[in-house]
Structure 1
Amino acid sequence: MIVILDFGSQYSELIARRIRETQVYSEVLSYRTMAEQLRQLNPVGIILSGGPSSVYDAGAPHCDPEIWNLGVPVLGVCYGMQLMVQQLGGSVERAELGEYGKANLAIDDPTDLLTNVGEGSIMWMSHGDSVARLPDGFEVLAHTSNTPCAAIAHHDRKLYGVQFHPEVVHSQGGQALIRNFVYHICECQPTWTTDAFVEESVREIRGRVGTKRVLLALSGGVDSSTLAFLLHRAIGDQLTCMFIDQGFMRKLEPERLVKLFHEQFHINVEYVNARDRFLAAVAGVDDPEEKRKRIGHEFIRVFEAESKRLGPFDYLAQGTLYPDVIESADTNVDPQTGERVAVKIKSHHNVGGLPKDLRFKLVEPLRKLFKDEVRKVGRSIGLPEEIVNRQPFPGPGLAIRILGAVDEEKLDILRDADFIVRQEINRAGMYNDFWQAFAVLLPVRSVGVMGDQRTYAYPIVLRLVSSEDGMTADWSRAPYDLLETISNRIVNEVKGVNRVVYDITSKPPGTIEWE
């Protein structure tokens, strides 16, 4: 595998994803991982991520300097390159002109790391510091108008650095650079495939679970459905899927889901109606973090209660993904200074709301996968396209698409509005054109007029975004006639709504979900 040492970048996982696109396994570890620990993992390459710090700041995160002596190829990205330069005897200074956004790359050495990276390629920059003096043995591979050392190398030691971010989609030739590092410099083989993952996962599940029974929280989304198929392949009837209707699902989805798994897939699903219980748990709660934690807490408590009725279960399976873990984790807190290098965005119900007295052991085979990788696994094990291509839906459901306190009236309004959104994008043949397309209900009212009568009702926000992995996203330039149809239907058919607005914020600075 190739290891990525994370120095606090919100997008370190993008580097891991780009590596995996080359069919080579990658894993993200803390920058505190010592050289001896890395030696035991036996990686074929190491990548140092970017980060928000400056290398000369007091308390700036540093890696174990013995990493440079492991004899393993290393690629430093942005902060990672600056740290490499500083630790190996060079110098980094505050640049007279920082670079943020697009910059044209002028290539001085078109071989090795920059093979097949075109002259003048646009690369994505985000730095205020620059390399002022290279360590001994290093040479410049590329520069930009503001950055004399945009790419550097010590060929004999196989140490490389780039000031730009090849992992982001804005960088032309970024994936070519990554492939050069993976295949030519680290000499990897493309052996980490979907079939290999399934085979390894089945083996690990059987080895861990043995003859014990497993309870799966089934939501009907691509993650939990893929996990259900994977677990069923591994342990068969030892698996029981429990679908808990918490009252925050989309219109008609609970009934469709149970019928599909029972009649078509022949996987045991237990339906639990807990709508009143969940609604009571979040009653009057305005804070989105508190809503998520209460919903996560209720999920586990319901599992515990229902598992006693159904029989003893030793394991709880969850469809936790890599982005869930990263966005939920309070990671990289320096034990001496207390400084947090990476910032918590939000907790996810399946990683941020688990109670400390959880009596189940967790099984999370998808924990290291991105969403697109889960879809590939789902297809390989026979999951129908209608589920494989299902847009992401948050675990807390509509409860976090209603801003502020949740009640039955608002849920009914949002269900009807959301149903219209899905109907119209399907009729337009555009369902797969969006990463997510949904409605949000705001807890404010505005004046309107219908049939010469004054109205005072809620607004619905349309959120249509495009993305590759959910880590970054752009608002979709949806056709005006589609937006018009959706707006007209919602205002005319959904009681309690008199206004529809369109969210044109990308991620970052916003998130895809509003809460």
Structure 2
Amino acid sequence: MEGHVPPNGVGETNNSEEHERIVILDAGSQYGKVIDRKVRELNIHSEILPLNTPASDIKDRGFSCIIISGGPSSVHDDNAPAYDGEMFNIGLPVLGICYGMQMMNVKFGGEVKCGVADREDGQFSIDMDTSSELFKGLSDKEEVLLTHGDSVIRIPEGFKATAHSGSTIAAIEHSGKKLFGVQFHPEVDLTVNGMTILRNFLYTITGLKGTYKLKSREEQCIKYIKETVKNSKVLMLLSGGVDSTVCAALLHKALPDDQVIAIHIDNGFMRKQESMNVEKHLNDLGLKVKAISAAQQFYTATTCVPVNGDHPNKLKRKTQMLNSITDPEEKRRIIGDTFMMIANDVIEELELSPKEVILGQGTLRPDLIESASSLASKAADAIKTHHNDTELVRELRNQGRVVEPLTEFHKDEVRELGRSLGLPEDVVERHPFPGPGLAIRVLCAEQPYKEKMFSEISSLLKVAADYSNSLNKEARVSQKHLELLKRVLSESDLEKLKSITSSISLQCTLLPIRSVGVQGDGRTYSYVAALSSSSSPDNHWEDLFLLAKLIPRLSHLVNRVCWVFGKRVEYPVTDITPTYLTNGVLTQLREADSIAYKVLKETGTIRSLSQMPVISIPIHFDRAPDQHMPSCQRSIVIRTFLTSDFMTGVPALPGKQLALDVISSMVKKMQSVAGVSRVLYDMTAKPPGTTEWE
């Protein structure tokens, strides 16, 4: 366990209501804490325990039912998470989610097949049997989040299938034993009526009444801070974002002013004029902040990373300087460790004893989940290392020298807490900006990434983008790829693909770069596909978004799909512009980012989006092979994102969720920035693509 953590911060039941308790068994899902949150929102107390918790303990502790989370493992893995199968025989209703459903299916004699072609990562429409108690009150077709590689292909005796995604089984149940399994995630917002499903399981099937009441989270945060800090000083690192600002406001409310040392570190990766504005803004709020300019220190920083894996006893090696690094995880670790080193320098300058200083951080649930911290899960896969959860931070936690009052919160909950603390709306609604800043919005690379079937995937995507013409008998296309399309996609999807490619002439270009994604509850680092056309996309965005869902199903080595503004991309992209975190690269991205946010502010549309990272990628389009023009420009990607919990989300649909003229203005102005080849629009949901590209 990584040190002391705050209580759930969401209240407790009266003694007379102790039976209103359920257990969530953690199989390593990215969304395990989201299940906990949604159950509590339904006024039912929940506890998260390891998947291998003995069934006798579950029964003895008086839980009313069991929910088994999803997870990144396969039930066929040699090291698949252990569990006590007796949990299914102690008379409690069980809901298995994703991996939990597959585990239940195998336990009772069903069959799960690994890595089948119909892998799904994203929001899809499934067919439901609404006679099932679990799906009472729903439609026979529902939008849900599916993210899985393995699939149930045979269900056990006594069970029946109650939902399907095409030919794939999406839900099973044994109503007599009150055992239910869903392949999708009812706990996330991308499952539109997921709360109804959870309510049906907890209220109708289990018979709970929802007597659990929420206490004041602010009061519990204040209590936790006082108990943790006592008489120590708190060194609070402030980025100016809502998380760190709310954390600082809580610290100032809980502690005397002389106990809180607030600093803002300009790491050289801030937005245009951001540090100056952050310092002024925070001081205006009464949070006395000392600003430290440390750009050069970050640019030339190094750290030590494990040679193989993340075990603390493994051999370590020293990295190159940050301005020479291309690996996204190494970039994140160097930046996180450098923050800690500068914090130590501040402690030394103030002549304080390190043992008397506690680090204050605005760490949220999603940060810990994505970093695979044991505070969030014992079995989760690491998606990306957050700067507030590096190895150095974990060591401080183990020493009891970190205070993090928000680790049980999601972004929307932090915003509500900020409002209750009296923070201005422009602070509360500020778009998230990661601690590493623009450093993780520059895709650094030395060489093009053209491994793992690059040519094969390129050919397949070209057939898909021209599917309607590929059906003509005279067309010269790969029959192998055409058959693969027909095998992977349902008849309904094929009809949609035919309709889309009939209405707009598309080109699909596989880019020799990688972005970070999350598929099947695990981290992926995969290719980016780029769609383009000589026709305007303005009347086709819904079709293009559907195509962006289908492409990762066709190739699981693609986790992100973008639209390229401008003319059709005629030439394949076979190389990249060598890119590092240098001043010229950062200046270009800063200017593009500044343009994008200026357009949002001027048009009054900034609050229509949850977040909008602007990304630099090392791609120089429009170079004819016979001209031998070197790759020297970069392209800019607009990554809009709509979400409430920041664990899942979707891009804004142009023309509906973001005005076409707003996007057009952004693109036109960004295109004028020196050295920009093209501007792209990220059409990928999360999953399969993460919010950030790194």
Give TM-score, length-normalised by structure 1: 0.83
**Cα distance change, pair 27–432 in 1 and its aligned pair in 2 (3 A):** farther
Question: 1:91 aligned to 2:131?
Answer: no
Quote the residue 1:407 is aligned against.
582
Q: Deviation string for 1:108-132 (max 9, x for gaps)?
A: 344xx44433455555565621563
Matches within 5 A, 1:340-419: 342-352=380-390, 354=392, 358=396, 361-404=401-444, 405-419=580-594
Deviation at 1:294, TM superposition (A): 0.9
Shift in Å, 1:498: 4.8
2:273 — aligned with what? 252
Distance 2:228 2:240 in 1: 25
Gap change, CA 1:440 and 1:502, over 3 Å in 2: same
Aligned to 2:128: 105
Shift of 1:163: 4.7
Which of the residues 78, 84, 94 maps onto 1:64? 84
**Secondary structure at 1:466's aligned position in 2?**
coil
Q: Deviations over 1:92-113 (max 9, x none)?
A: 1248997954321113344xx4
**CA distance in structure 2 between the aligned counterparts of 1:235 and 1:225, rounded to whole angstroms:** 15
The structural deviation recorded for 1:325 is 1.2
What SS class does the counterpart of residue 216 from structure 1 fall into? strand
Aligned pairs, number: 492
Q: What is the letter of the counterpart of residue 687 of structure 2?
A: P
- For the residues of structure 1 that align with 2:145 and 2:126, how far apart are their CA atoms? 6
Displacement of 1:269: 1.5
Task: Identify if the C-alpha distance between structure 1 residues 181 and 378 changes in structure 2 by more than 3 Å, giving closer, same or farther.
Answer: farther
1:180 aligned onto 2:200 = yes
2:496 is aligned with 1:476: no
Conserved in 2, the CA contact under 8 Å of 1:130 and 1:149? no
Contact 2:128/2:163 (CA < 8 Å) preserved in 1? yes
- Structure 1 residue aligned with 2:602: 427
Q: Distance in 2 between matches of 1:498 and 1:133?
A: 56
Any conservation in 2 of the 1:46–1:72 contact (CA below 8 Å)?
yes
Report the counterpart of residue 335 of structure 1 in structure 2.
Answer: none
CA, structure 1 residues 266+9, in 2 after alignment: closer, same or farther (shift >3 Å)? closer
Preserved CA contact (<8 Å) 2:65 2:93: yes
Unaligned runs of 5+ in 2: 1-20, 302-321, 445-579, 624-629
- Confirm or deny: 8 A CA contact 1:108 1:140 kept in the other structure: no
Which residue of structure 2 aligns with residue 328 of structure 1? 371
Change (3 A) 1:154 1:438: closer
Q: Which runs of 4+ in 1 moved over 6 A?
A: 39-42, 95-99
- TM-superposed CA distance for 1:398, in Å, is 0.8
The verdict on how the C-alpha distance between 1:190 and 1:441 changes in structure 2, with shifts beyond 3 A counting, is farther
Q: Matches of 2:584 and 2:62 in 1, distance apart?
A: 57
Q: Tell me if structure 2 keeps the 8 A contact 1:23–1:192.
A: yes
1:247-291 deviations in Å (ceiling 9; x for gaps)? 21112221222222223x222222212122112222212221111
* More displaced stretch, 402-411 vs 161-170: 161-170
Partner of 2:237: 217
1:305-335 Cα deviation digits (max 9, x unpaired): 1022235342101111111111111779xxx
Pair 53,349 (structure 1): closer, same or farther in 2 beyond 3 Å: closer
Deviations, residues 314-366 of structure 1 (Å, cap 9, x unaligned): 2101111111111111779xxxxxxx974322111111352676577111111
Cα pair 2:358 2:403 within 8 Å, conserved: yes
Structure 2 Cα separation of the partners of residues 461 and 116 of structure 1? 41
Superimposed CA distance per residue, residues 368-390 of structure 1 (whole angstroms, 9 cap, x where no aligned partner): 22112211221222222111111
Paired residue for 2:137? 116
C-alpha separation in 1, matches of 2:35 and 2:243? 22
Residues 73/228 of structure 1: CA separation in 2 closer, same or farther (3 Å cut): farther
Answering whether residue 670 of structure 2 is matched by residue 490 of structure 1, we say yes
- CA distance 1:344–1:392, shift in 2 (3 Å): same
Q: CA separation in 2, counterparts of 1:41 and 1:120?
A: 38
- Choose from 167, 189, 202 the match for 2:222: 202
Bigger relative contact order (CA 8 A; separation at least 6): 2
| CA–CA distance in structure 2, aligned partners of residues 297 and 187 of structure 1 | 47
The alpha carbon displacement at 1:211 in A equals: 2.1
Contact 2:105 2:111 in 1 (8 A): no
Contact 1:443/1:458 (CA < 8 Å) preserved in 2? Answer: yes
Confirm whether residue 277 of structure 1 aligns to residue 315 of structure 2: no
Q: CA separation in 2, counterparts of 1:500 and 1:256?
A: 28
**d(CA) in 2 for partners of 1:273, 1:408:** 15
Verify the 8 A CA contact 1:414 1:441 in the aligned structure 2: yes
C-alpha contact (below 8 Å) 2:190/2:649 kept by paired residues: no
- Decide whether the 8 Å contact of 2:203 with 2:209 is kept in 1: yes
CA contact (8 A) 1:141 1:153 kept: no
Partner Cα distance (1:377, 1:153) in 2: 42
* SS of equivalent to 1:200: helix
Given that residues 347 and 353 in structure 1 are in contact (C-alpha distance below 8 angstroms), is that contact kept between their aligned partners in structure 2? Answer: no
Contact persistence 1:295–1:353 (CA under 8 A): no
Residue 513 (1) aligns with residue 663 (2): no
In the alignment, the residues of structure 2 paired with residue 406 and residue 97 of structure 1 have an alpha-carbon distance, to the nearest angstrom, of: 38
Question: Are the aligned partners of 1:7 and 1:61 in contact in 2 as well (CA < 8 Å)?
Answer: yes
Mapped partners of 2:382, 2:142: distance in 1: 33
Instruction: Select which of 321, 324, 328 maps to 1:288.
Output: 328
2:639 corresponding residue in structure 1: 463
Where 2:613 maps in the other structure, the secondary structure is strand
Q: Say which SS state the counterpart of residue 81 (structure 2) adopts.
A: coil
1:445–1:457 contact (8 Å) kept in structure 2: yes
Aligned to 1:319: 362
**Counterparts of 1:40 and 1:351 in 2: how far apart (Å)?**
35
Q: Distance in 2 between matches of 1:348 and 1:5?
A: 25
Residues in 1 aligned to 2:59 and 2:288: alpha-carbon distance in whole angstroms: 44
CA drift at 1:300: 0.5
In structure 1, distance between residues paired with 2:330 and 2:63: 40
Q: Would the alpha carbon gap of residues 258 and 35 (structure 1) be closer, same or farther in structure 2, given more than 3 Å must change? A: farther
Structure 1 pair 143–443 and aligned structure 2 pair: CA distance change class (3 A): closer
* Contact kept? 2:22, 2:66, Cα under 8 Å: yes
Shift of 1:500: 2.2
**Greater CA drift, 166-175 or 242-251:** 166-175
Report the alpha carbon displacement of residue 147 of structure 1 after superposing the two structures with TM.
7.6
- Alpha-carbon distance change, 189 to 292 in structure 1, aligned in 2, over 3 angstroms: same
Question: 1:472, CA displacement in angstroms?
Answer: 2.3
Contact map agreement 1:292 1:353 (CA 8 A) in 2:
no
Instruction: Provide the secondary structure at the position in 2 that maps to 1:244.
Output: strand
- The one-letter code sitting in structure 2 at the alignment partner of 1:234 is A
SS class of match (1:107): coil
Equivalent position of 1:235 in the other structure = 255
Q: Deviations over 1:61-93 (max 9, x none)?
A: 332235446665432224323434554xx3212
- Output one character per residue of 1:426-447: Cα deviation in whole Å (capped at 9) or x when no partner: 2222112222213222335567
The Cα of 1:191 is off from its aligned counterpart by 4.5
Q: CA deviation at 1:236?
A: 3.4
TM-score, structure 2 as length reference: 0.63
> Residue 4 of structure 2 corresponds to which residue in structure 1?
none
Sort the Cα spacing of 1:173 and 1:416 in 2 relative to 1 into closer, same or farther, 3 A: closer
DSSP 3-state at the match of 1:181: helix
CA RMSD of aligned residues (A): 3.5
Amino acid at match of 2:593: D
Which secondary structure does the structure 2 equivalent of 1:255 belong to? helix
